[in-house]
Structure 1
Amino acid sequence: MNTTTLVLMPIKRSYIPFEEITSTARPFIEANTLQSSLQEIKAEHIIPVFKDNEPVISHSDFIETVMSVANDVFPLQHILSPNIRLSHPIQGRVPSAKNKLSRDLLDHEKTLHYERMAFVIEIPSVTEAIGGNQVSLTIGGVKSYNLDNLSLKKGTGEVFKVFIGFQNKVCTNLCVWSDGYKADLKVRSIEELRNAIYCLFNSYNIDHHIKSMKTLTNCNISEQQFVQLIGRCKLYQYLPPNMKANVPFLSFGDTQISAICRDYYRDKSFCRNDDGSINLWKVYNLFTEANKSSYIDTFLDRSVNAFQFIEGIKNAVRHNQANWFLQ
């Protein structure tokens, strides 16, 4: 039996905890987001508070906690600086400027924070080749203040999403599966957050995830099967509830499915073969590429769903398991 050998390159970096090179210079998510930096968030963004005026665990607190855990769990690896995307700006002004027109506000009179934030941190010294693509270990998370009830006292807990998985270097697509994802993680302190991240990172099975992705390269579907799959994906959104309950869950909407159809013909790295056939590694990457148009709130959940969905298609093709999307 073939075994997966990951490339883990020990890097001595006692003189600097994180490389100045930013993880994935290209956007890993595009919809309604803008690029930021940890320094900018810490220096320029205000921090929301709960009803008792206690501060939330800020975006920068969250990022730095993940960075700290990464430094402990992967002490000899090459870790890049976080790539951060923000959305839903909340603007304000200082009391002394309350009567000014918006156009007359000076920079120091404006306040700003962003309700939603997503970030990734790449560990490029942990790599593997899949289907001719290089993938590297990547960690990160999502924080949305709208999930926290700020009208209550701080002790009620705050919600985070954390992941560990891989990123395809060809296209910056994230490869996340359920065993490397903690959705709706609710904590009351940074220490609780740190412990939960430790548990996730230490329990994640890198080798098993890689092997699962590699099997997708050896499973092909015909053009007719792909057309059947896409047609069913379009129909899925309109199924009656009683029918949908018996069908594998799909979180991708019409916008993403249309992008998959387009890239089936046009994507330079993951388009169909000359005879119309396509392997499931490419189909998976068509889904994760389309996921970049998702909002921050749904981005990681759809990333996990993409893997679960394609795994179901693989089992249907290889083991003749029933799957509504290929019937």
Structure 2
Amino acid sequence: METLLLGPNARPLSPPAFDREPDPQASGSRAFIEANTLAVDLQELRHQHTIPVFVKDNEPLISQADFIDVTQEAMQEVFRGEQILLPQVRVSHPIKGRIPEAKHKPATQLEDWERTLYYERMMFCVEVPTLFDTIEGNRLTLQVGGVKAYNLDNLYHRKGAAEHFKLFVGFQNTVCTNLCVRTDGYRSDVRVSSLEQLRVAVYNLLQTYDQHRHLTQLQQLGNYALTEAQFALLIGRCRLYQFLPAAEKKNIPPLLYGDQQLAAVCRDYYRDQSFCRDKERQINLWRLYNLFTGANKSTYIDQFLDRTLNALEFAGHVQESVGGGPTSWYLT
């Protein structure tokens, strides 16, 4: 097993022995999220997209490009000496406009320089390929990133009002580009009013994230498996969960996946080349977890990280039940 871990005091799970790879430029070669997103590069984000402002004083919000920049700065400090790639950026929900001089033109006749554009939602990942581990033959590399969604901000305030960000650090399975995130590597509602506060929030997350514990949790999933009958029962219960009365849901671990994602899990149980059932028609929980994170790539940006985290928590709940703990409602 190959392992490199983070931080000056981290101790590897086993002695690292590998050759460092050539320095590629961009993080990942395939999309970590699909849904309705588009790929853009950082230069386009910085120079071609307008920035929303606070209505009362016309002062700009923190731009998506600046968010990426401060994240990279914090990474350079925390992961000093490691290889850090360029960010992979995905955007959705375009907000289009035009300059005043073109206000009477039909949309089909607008020149490029007469159009304005920014995307309401943006998510990015930055890969650190020299920090990695291997689980069941799948190489996992460290990823840091975040979400900036302007629809979460109140634009009718003055500059200084809290702005909302989501931050994460975890691993990406390079076999399928699925993201693996656990609780201590995710901040779902970071509220700041300046770039400096945002930089501190990123730095604190990177410092407190326990990558050793995260990797151990992921490795243990491979030690537990479901039979085909158990898998069928689990999926049936997952579908029922969505329609349970609210009072009954309170006593059941939540599941954030809907019918579309569950259908993808069922399909890939038979068809996925990397994570389908084995010859005995069983599926271990590492594979099941990756079926859920793979199905999550059809989720929109605003829900993506919450479902990513929920996949690990759900797999952990199933593991506890299969391993002799309290019986899970999903398996009864």
The alignment's TM-score, normalised by the length of structure 2, stands at: 0.93
- What secondary structure does 1:307 align onto? helix
Distance 1:279 1:116, change over 3 A: same
Amino acid at match of 1:53: N
Q: Secondary structure at the match of 2:61?
A: coil
Alignment-derived partner of residue 138 in structure 1: 143
CA deviation after TM superposition for structure 1 residue 5, in Å: 3.1
**Equivalent residue for 1:181, pick from 186, 204, 222:** 186
In the TM superposition, 1:3-152 aligns within 5 A as 4-5=13-14, 7=16, 21-51=25-55, 52-152=57-157
Determine the structure 1 residue equivalent to 2:9: none
1:154 aligns with 2:159: yes
| Segment drifting more, 316-325 vs 272-281 | 316-325
Alpha-carbon offset, residue 319 of structure 1: 2.6
Give 1:186 deviation, angstroms: 0.4
Question: Alpha-carbon deviations, 1:287-311, whole Å to 9, x = none?
Answer: 0000000000000000000000100
Q: CA deviation at 1:73?
A: 0.5
Q: Report whether the alignment pairs 1:165 with 2:170.
A: yes
- Correspondence for 1:212: 217
The one-letter code of the counterpart of 2:230 is: Q
Distance in 2 of aligned mates of 1:122 and 1:5: 22
Give CA-to-partner distance per residue, 1:131-176, whole Å, 9 cap, x none.
1111001110111000000011122210000000000010000000
CA contact (8 A) 1:148 1:159 kept: yes
Moved more, 159-168 or 315-324: 315-324
CA distance in 1, matches of 2:295, 2:15: 27
Partner of 1:321: 326
- What is the rounded CA distance, in whole Å, between the counterparts of 1:157 and 1:72 in structure 2? 26
**1:58-85: per-residue Cα shift (whole Å, max 9, x none)?**
1101011111111110011111110000
Q: For 2:71 and 2:279, how far apart are their aligned partners in 1?
A: 44
Shift of 1:274: 1.6
In the alignment, the residues of structure 2 paired with residue 48 and residue 217 of structure 1 have an alpha-carbon distance, to the nearest angstrom, of 46
Query: Structure 1 unaligned runs (5+)?
Result: 14-18
Distance 1:302 1:96, change over 3 A: same
Distance of aligned partners of 1:8 and 1:244 in 2 relative to their CA distance in 1, 3 Å threshold: farther
Kept in 2, the 8 Å contact 1:50–1:151? The answer is: yes
State the distance in 1 between where 2:146 and 2:18 align.
25
The whole-number CA distance in structure 1 between the counterparts of 2:277 and 2:161 is 50
Aligned-residue offset at 1:43 = 1.1
Cα distance in 2 for residues equivalent to 1:57 and 1:37: 18
Residues 1:231 and 2:247 are matched in the alignment: no
Name the CA shift for 1:32/1:8 in 2 (closer, same or farther; >3 Å).
farther
* SS of 2:120 mapped into structure 1: strand
Which secondary structure state, in structure 1, belongs to the residue aligned with residue 25 of structure 2?
Answer: strand
- Aligned equivalent of 1:16: none
Q: CA RMSD in A?
A: 1.6
Q: Secondary structure at the match of 2:327?
A: coil
Distance 1:163 1:8 in 2: 28
Alpha-carbon distance between aligned partners in 2 of 1:8 and 1:61, rounded to the nearest angstrom: 37
**CA-CA distance at 1:322 after TM superposition:** 2.3
Secondary structure of 1:243's counterpart equals: helix
Q: Are 1:241 and 2:250 counterparts?
A: no
Amino acid of the structure 1 residue aligned with 2:287: K
**SS of the residue aligned with 1:182?**
strand
Whole-Å separation in 1 of the counterparts to 2:154 and 2:101: 29
Q: Deviation of residue 128 (structure 1)?
A: 0.5
State whether residues 7 and 128 of structure 1, in contact with CA within 8 Å, keep that contact through their aligned partners in structure 2. no
Q: TM-score, normalised by structure 1?
A: 0.95
Match of 1:191 among 187, 190, 196: 196
Instruction: Give identity over the alignment, percent.
Output: 50
Instruction: Please say if residues 177 and 307 of structure 1, whose CA atoms lie closer than 8 Å, have aligned partners that are also in contact.
Output: yes
